[in-house]
Structure 1
Amino acid sequence: MDETLLNDNKKITPKTIEAVKRATAAGVHFVPNTGRSFTSIQDNLIELGLSQKPDQYVISYNGAAIVENKENQVLQVNALPHEIVDQLFQIGMNENACIHVYTVDQLYIWNMNKNEENYLDGRVTGWHLMRENNIKFLQDTPITKIIFNIEEEAKRLSMQDYVNEHVEFALNISFSSDRYIEFNDPTADKGQGTMALAKKLGIKPSEVIAIGDNSNDLPMIKDAGLGVSVANGRDFVQAAANYVTQADNNHDPIAEVIDKFIFNEE
């Protein structure tokens, strides 16, 4: 979604909407594969003509949930152990980070700041501000992902090292939007989510196209038959991709991929 499907104004352009609708009319499954909640992209699904459609899907929380668009039916959830989320929450709190805790259908935010609020505006709505300094109130609720908003890359990398050293659990750690460090269960990443859905649909990995821009996109880019980085993707994402678009996220890279690889149009 962000920095790939959406432009810097947080919009899907008419050209991309037209291309997606053309592809889905031809029988393509167009699956937003996002670190965000499926609830946060419902307006985008309406624009793309995918809202409430049977046999069309969203993969959310970096692969921790697979959802069919018709009635937002949750088909699969790969949640984190609560004791690990609690440990991560304490680490983030000690760093005074802005922390996002995702359940299957809700987002809770601790230590919201104005910069983060401005970034989320137009992308995410309906979050709950946390007043408690713990997550005990969620002890009976599956948690799909926890992330820290840390603005400086060096500090995000340092946090990764710290967590790897102090948390005795094989976390899936990734980065997104050049502002987040994200923690998922090891069974949840965008590649595993993509392949699980492809298997359900009877689609071979070689028939899958995955498009992204940052480290949380790497698993699906590597697992897909055609892994694509948008032109604004991080250098290491471009290096891992089979194809790098000429267009960045402000100039319809999704339409470029659809035209070139689905309809064989240059």
Structure 2
Amino acid sequence: MNYDLIALDIDGTLLTDDHTLTSNVREAVREAHGRGAEIVLCTGRGPANAIPVLDKLGLAGTMITHNGAATVDSASRTVLHQYSIDNAEVARFRAYCLEAKLHFDLNTAFEMLIEDITPEAEAMYRLYGASPVLRNPGDPLPEGLVKFTLFGDQAELDRVEAEWNGWTHGLQHIRSGDYFIDVQHRDASKGKALRQLAQLRGIEQSRVMAIGNYFNDVGMLTFAGLGVAVANSPEAVKEAANVVTRSNEADGVAHALHAFAWT
């Protein structure tokens, strides 16, 4: 086995566009695990809708969630490490979205909170298997927030992202998909969380493999000894990777594992 730790993004990478885990991908991931690699889902999702994917793989263990803002143990449902964000900083992004009538959710390590719901947002949550909890907008923001996520159409988010790029603030915002912008702690990233986990396990960087598809995956792709971008990735993500595999619609994860993980 060439790699002791294999980090897998979920959406657009492990799953097809309709969020299906194919049998080819499942069996390849399980084979990698059976050969001795630790499989770590490394995702922008929260644990609540990432754990079901791990269950479908027939695996359990450590997951890097919320783009590295919360590392959790799937079996015990405990937080191993998290980067909480300042509610005063979050309030500015929330106020912007309220004024612009843009949908958002607020995330602690294990809970997703919303203040309203639109048909589009409801369909999106259903697609991702998420079950947000409706909060009272008049209540104080909860403690322990790790991520604020904005959802909208691509052109609208392009405009918001360009405007937020001009802001000065203590957080970071990152595009985690065509229809999502995530706001979180400056130190939170998939790459940093993967590095911390590898160090904890005593695994050399050269023995880490990562597969992803979007801008929030670049940190882990550049950290890993082998960073693999699926073919449906933006060009900048492909350029950050060492190699490019097939798309998520063509069992790219399975192809990459067979091609590189144990040959």
For residues 69 and 137 of structure 1, what CA distance do their matches in structure 2 show?
26
2:251 aligned partner: 252
Q: Name the TM-score, length of structure 1 as normaliser.
A: 0.90
Aligned: 1:160 with 2:161: yes
For residues 154 and 55 of structure 2, what CA distance do their matches in structure 1 show?
35
Aligned: 1:4 with 2:13: yes
Give the fraction of aligned pairs with identical amino acids, expressed as a percent.
Answer: 28
For residues 62 and 219 of structure 1, what CA distance do their matches in structure 2 show?
10
Contact 2:44 2:65 (8 Å CA) reproduced: yes
Deviates more, 1:235-244 or 1:155-164: 155-164
Instruction: Flag the 1:177–1:135 CA change in 2: closer, same or farther, 3 A.
Output: farther
1:189 aligned partner: 189
Give aligned pairs, total.
254
Q: How far 1:49 moved relative to its partner?
A: 1.5
Aligned: 1:129 with 2:130: no
The within-5 A match list for 1:1-266 is: 1-51=10-60, 56-132=61-137, 136-138=140-142, 141-153=143-155, 155-169=156-170, 171-245=171-245, 247-264=246-263
Q: How far 1:137 moved relative to its partner?
A: 4.3
Q: How far 1:16 moved relative to its partner?
A: 0.8
Matched residue type, 2:147: K
Which of structures 1 and 2 has the larger relative contact order (alpha carbons within 8 angstroms, sep 6+)? 2
Q: Deviations over 1:110-144 (max 9, x none)?
A: 34221222122142332112341x56141xx2001
For residues 162 and 135 of structure 1, what CA distance do their matches in structure 2 show?
28
Q: Deviations over 1:172-193 (max 9, x none)?
A: 2211221011111011011111
Q: Deviations over 1:183-217 (max 9, x none)?
A: 11011011111111111111122211111111111
Q: Deviations over 1:144-188 (max 9, x none)?
A: 1001112124x323323433433422x222112210111110110
For residues 252 and 135 of structure 1, what CA distance do their matches in structure 2 show?
45
For residues 232 and 117 of structure 2, what CA distance do their matches in structure 1 show?
28
Question: Mind listing any 5+ residue stretches in structure 1 that lack a counterpart?
Answer: none
The SS at the match of 2:254 is helix
For residues 31 and 259 of structure 1, what CA distance do their matches in structure 2 show?
17
Q: What stretches of structure 1 move > 6 A for 4+ residues in a row?
A: none
Instruction: Flag the 1:92–1:129 CA change in 2: closer, same or farther, 3 A.
Output: same
Contact 2:105 2:112 (8 Å CA) reproduced: yes
Matched residue type, 1:258: L
Q: Deviations over 1:212-258 (max 9, x none)?
A: 1111111111211111110111121112111111x211121111111
For residues 60 and 108 of structure 1, what CA distance do their matches in structure 2 show?
16
Contact 1:150 1:179 (8 Å CA) reproduced: yes
Instruction: Flag the 1:91–1:202 CA change in 2: closer, same or farther, 3 A.
Output: same
Matched residue type, 2:140: K
Matched residue type, 2:124: Y
Q: Which of the two has greater strand per residue?
A: 2
Give RMSD over aligned pairs.
1.6
For residues 152 and 45 of structure 1, what CA distance do their matches in structure 2 show?
29
The SS at the match of 2:14 is coil
